[in-house]
Every structure is written in structure tokens, then in C-alpha cells.
Amino acid sequence: MSDIHGKKKALGRGLSALLENAETENPQKEISGEYTAEYIAQVRVDQIEPNPFQPRVHFDETELRELAASIQEHGIIQPITIRKIGHNKYQLISGERRLKASVIGGLSQVPAYVRLANDEQMLEMALVENIQREDLNPLEIAISFQRLLDECRIKQEDLSQKVGKDRSTISNYIRLLKLPTEIQVAVRDNLITMGHARAIINVPQERSQLIILKKILEKKSSVREVEEMVRNLGRQKTTASHGASLPDKFEKAKLALHKKFLSKIDFKLNKKGAGAIIIEFKSADDFERIISKFDS
């Protein structure tokens, strides 16, 4: 697969072994005596028509521009899925957001899973067999799981039986796809392990997740060290929230002011003891009501 800069950017050994680049007129690859119903290829964006059954009609422009910038930096990690409907003519099945962002980012072609027919059973077989491979990286497994859930409409409990993994394991893989692109790339390129990624997932803020990733790459941190980083981060937040509690005299003052103004009251204090009293109002009329209380 080629990214926007022309560099070779493989999905990984597993998916590329299953879905190697193929000529559009000779696409089928044999697997265990059967034929897959798809192949992967670079497809021109002007040859792809929208999915008429796409329920989503609104896409946030800011998010699309952010995704476009990410694609320019890292390439498309998860190819879109399209259906071949004629010679050099395709219809989008899934990945409209990625396709739109690619156009914004100036890409003339995108990596795509090209479905030859609406044969979900064939696709399911190929993906399930692919998951059993030993050389897949965690991100490839996560993508395969997500495709089985989305495109083949398999329930997670049924997927668990088909691939021989419990539901919690499947959930842990799929959660990788919620991580920032930089972390997904690090998993894909084997710069960090599944254990590292699972620890980072427990950090709620994306900025903190990326800071931890940087520390891992700089210090070659082990999974245990990352887990300790995450625990320490949680302790710091707990201490900060406890330290934010007000002394009794301020709590009593807050209650008295609330009774007088019938509004939410808050105090902001710094370490030197200086601060501010905040009286909340909901409208211009409410503001006038509060102001009138100062004269009473």
C-alpha cells in the first residue's frame, strides 16, 4: 500500500498476505480450496460513487479536516470497503468519512477492500480464517473483528464462538481502534505492544495518552512501567480533586449566599488564599433579579 508521500506502507504481513494487491480484472485469491470474495487495491476516488443507503448525512467539517491532516501524516490505516459494480466503477459500502477526508487531503486514490459481490458468508470465512494467522499484529486483528461486526453483522457472542476467543478479548482488540491515530500506527508498526496499548486505553484524555506514548518510545518503557504511569496519573487526579474541597467556613458561606440569591454559588481559591465568588445566572432577567438582591 502506498501512502500520500509515495512510501510503501503495508497494512501488515497478515492482511497483505490474505489480500495482496491484484489486477482489477483478475482479483480472486484462493484460500484453503475456496475463493475470497474480495481483494485489496488502490482505487481512484473519482471511480467511487456514494452508498445510496448511507444513513449518515452530516459530517463535521472540523473533524474531517483533522482526519485529512492525520491521513496526510500517517496514511489510511484502515482501508475503505467498496463493491465493484462495473469496469473501473465502484460503490462505497463503508468508510465514507475516510473517503471524504482523503479527498480533502488531496489524495487521488485510496486503499480499498473491493467486494466482488454481496457475499457476506464468503467474506466472513476469509476474515475468520485470517484472524487465526500467527503473524497478524493486534491492529490487524482489531480491524478484522470490527469488519465482522459491521459488514457481516455478526453479534459479539457469535463472533466469540467463531474465532475461539472470549468476548472480553474481542472487546480489548476493538478498543484499539478508539485510540489516537499515532498510537494505532505505533501498534501497527510494532513500536509498542498490545499490553502497552491496553494500559494507555485506560487514560481518558487523548493528550495524556500521547504523552505516555512519547515516554514509551523515548525510554523503551515496559508494560508494567506504563501501567504504573497510568496508576500514578489516576492518583494525581484523585489528590487534586480532594485538594479542591473548600474549608468549612466557605461551605457555610456558600449555603448562606445560595439562600439569599437562589442561584448556584461557587468559590475559586488559589494557594495564597485569594479568590473569587461566582454567582451563576441563567438569563438577563435572572441577572437583574440577582442584582436587585444586593439592595435588599
With CA atoms as reference, report the closest residue to 267 among 281, 282, 279, 283: 279
Same domain for 261 and 157, yes or no, is no
d(CA 67, CA 102) in angstroms, rounded, equals: 8
- Same structural domain, 101 and 238: no
pTM of the predicted model as reported, rounded to 2 decimal places: 0.53
Residue 186 counted as domain residue: no
Helix 167-175 vs helix 138-150: crossing angle, to nearest 10: 110
Query: Any bridge partners for residue 44, and if so which?
Result: 109
Q: Is 38 a catalytic residue?
A: no
Whole-number pLDDT of residue 13 = 43
Same domain, 224 and 274: no
Total domains present in the chain: 3
**Could you tell me the residue range of the domain that residue 163 belongs to?**
13-178
DSSP string, 76-107: -SS-EEEEEEETTEEEEEE-HHHHHHHHHTT-
Instruction: Evaluate whether residue 7 is within a structural domain.
Output: no
Considering the domain boundaries, does residue 221 fall inside one?
yes
* 96-155 pLDDT, tens digit each: 889 999 999 999 999 999 987 666 776 776 678 778 776 788 988 898 898 888 888 888
> Would residue 228 count as lying in a domain?
yes
Are 106 and 144 members of one domain?
yes
Give the Cα separation of 56 and 202 in Å (integer). 30
- Considering the domain architecture, whether residues 129 and 217 belong to the same structural domain is answered as no
Cell numbers 484460500: residue: 31
We report the CATH number of the domain holding residue 21 as 3.90.1530.30
Whether 53 and 165 map to the same domain: the answer is: yes
Q: What is the mean pLDDT of residues 245-250?
A: 69
Identified catalytic residue from 96, 129, 182, 225: 96
- Residues 227, 282 within the same domain: no
Domain co-membership, 66 together with 162: yes
166 and 69 inside one domain: yes
Q: Is residue 273 part of a domain?
A: yes
Q: Are 3 and 70 in contact (CB under 8 A)?
A: no
**Among 123, 147, 178, which residue terminates a domain?**
178
Beta partners for residue 43, in sequence order: 110
Is 37:123 a contact under the CB 8 Å cutoff? yes
157-190 pLDDT, tens digit each:
899 988 888 999 999 999 999 999 999 999 988 8
Pair (78, 206) in one structural domain: no
Same domain as 162, residue 237? no
196-211 pLDDT tens trace: 999 999 888 888 899 9
Check whether residue 27 and residue 168 sit in a common domain. yes
pLDDT confidence of 243, banded at 50, 70, 90? very low
Last residue of a domain, one of 227, 243, 259: 243
